[in-house]
Amino acid sequence: MFADNVSSTLTQSDMFTALRKVLLQLVDVEVLQSQQNRVSTPTGNFITMTSLGLDPKSTNRTEYENQSSTPGNEVMRRTLLWRVQLDCYGNEAATMCNLISTVFRSEWACEAFNSTGYAVSPISAGEPRQTAFIDSEQQYGDRWSVDLTMQADAYVRIGQYFFDSAGVTITGVGTL
């Protein structure tokens, strides 16, 4: 996906994985990334995760890694705010949504995200709200939603050439 000597440390897949790991410590239901094609809607209680956007929280911070081999690296770090909508479905949707909204604002959530091994941490949780849901049989179903905001620390590494010495030649300038 990236050119040679270019890498990114935190992908959207990584962020969803971190969030899913935390949610599975709270609920015993299926937790899925939404907007998947040709996937049928599960039955019973389940949760979907939808990314709403990545907003910059900081400007780039640039560092250089001069390795013994060429090229070294230019590392650009940036902090992002990742906004996600969780949709809870089923007869326990309201209870799950309230639980997540409450726990997401606690120290427990910070520790849970830290244990995932990904550079994602909770910032805020909105209030649960009931949203309309009509299933494939044209029946109303229970769906509650909550918006979460997380901090994601990502960096991009790009190959950068360095030199250890330079040859300098002095050339005199003639007089006019």
- Residue 167 falls within a domain, yes or no? no
Q: What confidence score (pLDDT) does residue 53 get? A: 95
- Residue 42 falls within a domain, yes or no? no
pTM for the predicted model, two decimal places:
0.81
* Phi, psi (rounded to 5 degrees) for 23: -60, -35
* Beta bridge pairs of residue 77: 61, 155
Q: What confidence score (pLDDT) does residue 156 get? A: 85
Q: Average pLDDT of each block of 10 consecutive residues along the chain (176 residues)? A: 74 94 97 78 89 91 78 87 96 96 97 96 96 72 94 87 79 72
Q: How many domains does the chain have?
A: 1
Domain span at residue 22 reads 6-34+48-160
Across 13-169, where does the E strand assignment appear? 30-33, 46-56, 61-65, 72-89, 120-125, 129-130, 143-160
- Residue 172 falls within a domain, yes or no? no
- Residue 169 falls within a domain, yes or no? no
Q: What confidence score (pLDDT) does residue 64 get? A: 86
